[in-house]
Amino acid sequence: MFEVLPRLPADPILGLSAAYREDTNPNKIDLGVGVYKDEQGNTPILDSVAEAQKILLNEETSKTYITPQGVQGYIDGMLGLLLGKGHPVLVADRVAAVQAPGGCGALRILAELINRCQEGATVWVSDPTWANHIPLMESAGLKIEKYPYFDKATGGINFDAMAESLKANAKKGDIVLLHGCCHNPTGADLTKEQWHTVLEIAQSTGFTPFVDTAYQGFGDGLEEDAYGLRLLAENLPEMLIAASCSKNFGLYRERVGLAVIITNDSATRGILQSQIQSVARGSYSMPPSYGGALVNIILNSEELNQKWQNEVAAMRNRMQDLRVLLVDKLNEKGASTDFSFVTKQKGMFSFLCISPEQVQRMRNEHSVYFVDSSRVNIAGISKSNVDRLAEALVSVL
Ligand code: LMR
């Protein structure tokens, strides 16, 4: 039976790691998959996570199943982080949530849930969006449409076009997928004022926002990066949120995420809680416990929470410094293009706005690996590789 299936091309993001590993050039540079790296190019376990692991090792007494919704302390801690403790929707008991296997797991089960509400519903995604959003949504049966977002001419958002498109096209029953902060792949984020406009459009058209937030703390700060999400949650009757702990807790391989549904009222919350748990049960039964248990320990310990927040701030500051360093080096090496927009973008990624052919040349001629769209992982830059990177870029411009 298997002969009917064709071989598929490598994943546009994950496939880069294999190509990078095979490259024998000792000076190769990996700006591909979105993982944080330190100056030495390592992705270390955060100190707060290492301490939580020791605590868990001493305290865990059983490997029996956890509850279908996940570790309750984790869920409550994460809701506090996302929405802010005491947010009106929490007080009003309007939030259904389950621990999910990573941000992808959260996105996928929420997509399945949307399809249960309205088969084949339309999801509007930014142009461009994270490469995996589209297959995730489509494989749950949803239809994808795109709204204009990134403006290559400025390296920022073409917000007028985005707002116009949403006003004209997104209707009640449609879902609009928004990036909570640190837009992946472009690093171009909505301003506070623009979030208010998005809220007004949602109120006038009736679309349901679906916020994917995987980089909280990597843009302007843990609180600041939740501004848009909290604004929509406070002012709209319904909303979906997919959150990930891969990046800000560095828990990539542990697959820790949260799927959140904000409902119109408390009675509907109970119904949605049962529905989302049934989607999870029909897909993977229940989430893995380990990563959620670590986040639970960190968020519920004053000392570890503070340590973790300092570690998030250090990662954020380092990435902001690297943005400035890259642009300075490009100028120093005589780049013919103005890359100053890179310093205005937020989080882990930037679009360099070069062509796929130039990206190929970076790979083939200079062993510098990043996504064909020209998305680079800023955290892969270091003081020791930035000169080579800037020279290579200037040579392909
Ligand atoms: C990325 O965007 O590089 C990461 O989120 C890893 C992935 O799964 O694509």
> In terms of domains, do 120 and 168 share one?
yes
What's the gap in Å between 91 CA and the centre of ligand 1? Answer: 34
Confidence band for 91, pLDDT divided at 50, 70 and 90: very high
Compute the Cα dihedral for 182, 183, 188, 194 and give only its sign.
Answer: negative
What's the gap in Å between 293 CA and the centre of ligand 1? Answer: 23
Compute the Cα dihedral for 78, 84, 90, 94 and give only its sign.
Answer: negative
Confidence band for 149, pLDDT divided at 50, 70 and 90: very high
> In terms of domains, do 226 and 323 share one?
no
Q: Is residue 7 part of a domain?
A: no
Query: In ligand 1, which atom is closest to the CA atom of 184?
Result: 2
Confidence band for 133, pLDDT divided at 50, 70 and 90: very high
Q: What is the mean pLDDT of the chain?
A: 97
Confidence band for 235, pLDDT divided at 50, 70 and 90: very high
> In terms of domains, do 363 and 243 share one?
no
Residue % of the chain over a pLDDT of 90? 98
Burial of 96 (0-12, 13-18, 19+ CB in 10 A): buried
* pLDDT for residue 132: 96
Q: Is residue 49 part of a domain?
A: no
> In terms of domains, do 187 and 328 share one?
no
* Residue 124 designated active-site: no
> In terms of domains, do 269 and 323 share one?
no
Ligand 1 pocket test: which of 13, 179, 254, 369 has the largest number of ligand atoms within 8 Å of its C-beta? 13
> In terms of domains, do 249 and 359 share one?
no
Mean pLDDT of 260-278: 98
* pLDDT for residue 289: 96
**pLDDT tens-place string over residues 38-63:** 999 999 999 999 999 999 999 999 99
Question: How far does the chain reach from its first CA to its final CA, in angstroms?
Answer: 49
Confidence band for 308, pLDDT divided at 50, 70 and 90: very high
> In terms of domains, do 35 and 163 share one?
no
Q: How far is it, in rounded angstroms, from Cα 98 to Cα 103? A: 12
Q: Of the residues 268, 300, 332, which one is the last residue of a structural domain? A: 300
> In terms of domains, do 275 and 332 share one?
no
- Catalytic residue of the set 28, 37, 124, 130: 130
- Catalytic residue of the set 212, 225, 308, 346: 212
Nearest to 338 by CA among 356, 352, 349, 322: 352
* Residue 308 designated active-site: no
> In terms of domains, do 126 and 259 share one?
yes
* Residue 212 designated active-site: yes
Range of the domain at 111: 65-300
What's the gap in Å between 275 CA and the centre of ligand 1? Answer: 28
Count the domains in the chain.
Answer: 2
Q: What is the pTM of this model?
A: 0.97
Q: Could you count the other beta carbons within 10 Å of the beta carbon of residue 317?
A: 10
What's the gap in Å between 32 CA and the centre of ligand 1? Answer: 9
> In terms of domains, do 163 and 189 share one?
yes
Q: Is residue 200 part of a domain?
A: yes
* pLDDT for residue 350: 96
- Catalytic residue of the set 247, 307, 329, 346: 247
Q: Is residue 305 part of a domain?
A: no
* pLDDT for residue 265: 97
> In terms of domains, do 233 and 362 share one?
no
CATH of the domain at 326: 3.90.1150.10
Mean pLDDT of 341-356: 95
> In terms of domains, do 143 and 289 share one?
yes
Query: In ligand 1, which atom is closest to the CA atom of 13?
Result: 9
